Amino acid sequence: MNKKTVRALIEAAKRARLKAYCPYSRYPIGAAVLTDSGRIFPGANVENASYGLTICGERTAVANAVTHGEKSLTAVCVVGKSPRPCGACRQFMIEFSTKDTWLYIVDLGGDGRRESVNRTRVFAMLPGAFDPLEAGLLPRNPTNLLKRRSRKGAKRRARPARR
């Protein structure tokens, strides 16, 4: 993935973070996903007084993409102060990822100005994850993904999601 696309993904997650609803934790998290079609979908955490109903930014971004008909992720980005996807988010992302899906964790630091970017794979974040393909819950060539895809020579352009 080229640097311009990565930067567009990070900036979308940063913008989403500004819209987080987090009056209880005061811990805003922004996320964005890049789908195989090249579109970027943002998401932010949305808290609730009944804490169990809170939804993280990563799941919001994935749900946003799925709502728009996208079910295959090329990359995921999460932005905040020392952000780490929770276990639920890690499993949720795996449902729409392949072994090749990138995860960018962008730490804004204590002052919110210093940005450090850590890149890994979604599957590396949850060893032994429940994989519905391996469990036989999906056909060998599911239409939603979980199959390896070839990226040789493929150049995709990031497009912002329509509102």
3-class SS string, 27-52: CCCEEEEEECCCEEEEEECECCCCHH
CB under 8 Å to 151, separation ≥6 — which residues? 100
Question: Which class does domain 3-148 fall in?
Answer: alpha beta
What pLDDT does 157 receive? 46
Which residues are catalytic, by number?
58
What pLDDT does 142 receive? 53
What pLDDT does 3 receive? 96
How far is residue 89's CA from residue 57's CA, in Å, rounded to a whole number? 9
Neighbours of 136 (CB within 10 A): 8
**Positions in the chain short of pLDDT 50:** 144, 146-158, 163
How far is residue 157's CA from residue 35's CA, in Å, rounded to a whole number? 11
The DSSP code for 151 is -
What pLDDT does 114 receive? 83
What pLDDT does 155 receive? 45
Q: In this structure, are strands 73-80 and 102-107 parallel, antiparallel, or unpaired?
A: parallel
What pLDDT does 153 receive? 41
What the block records as the tokens of 10 is 């990070």
Q: Rounded to two decimals, what is the model's pTM?
A: 0.83
What pLDDT does 129 receive? 86
